[in-house]
Each structure stands twice: as C-alpha cells, then as structure tokens.
Amino acid sequence: MAANPSQSAKWKEYVESIHYSPRYSDDVYEYRHVILPKPFLKMLPKHLFQNNDSGCLRILSDEEWRGIGITQSLGWEHYEVHAPEPHVLLFRRLK
C-alpha cells in the first residue's frame, strides 16, 4: 500500500511492529486485540477510516485488515473500534 521506496521500508517496519495480544475468551468467543504502531495509522488509506473526525478506523473486512499487514489464522473478525485508542483493533472468533 505504500507508494515510494522510503514509505515501503517504513510500512514494512510498522507491519513487523504490530503487536498481537494473548487470546482470551468467554463462553462463546475467543478474543484478542491487535495494536498497530500509532504512526502507522497516518499511512493507512483514508477509505479505511470512519467518516468523522474521530481518527478511528471503521470495522474492517477480512480482506482489508489482512491487506494492511495484520496476520491471523482463519475465523477472526474485526468487531469493535475504540475511539480513545484508535490504534487498537478488537478481534473475535467463535469458539
């Protein structure tokens, strides 16, 4: 998604710095949160954001979150955004 070589190098650095929390669960779902490097948000395409000034990503499809470099096994869905921490994406999958 990055346009020029210096952006590509930075993009790769950010993707390698994505943090994946340990999984936790309730009776129905398994959960995890994915923490993006804060500066990485500024490099993401604008169409991935909500149409307001919150700076939050909208709920992303499987193709969209994989397209920005998030890697997880099958079945995970991005289900929630949290305005105070827009770089934290919340995921779940059925047990």
Question: Taking the chain (95 residues) in consecutive chunks of 10 residues, what is each chunk's mean pLDDT?
Answer: 70 95 97 96 90 80 96 96 90 97
Amino acid at 58: R
Q: Looking at residue 54, what is its pLDDT?
A: 63
User: Is the pTM value of this prediction over 0.85?
Assistant: yes
Q: Looking at residue 84, what is its pLDDT?
A: 87
5-94 CATH choice from 3.40.50.620, 3.30.70.1110, 3.90.1150.10, 3.30.170.10: 3.30.170.10
Q: Which is nearest to 48 in space by CA: 40, 56, 39?
A: 56
Assess contact for 89 and 33: CB atoms under 8 A.
yes
Domain ranges of the chain: 5-94
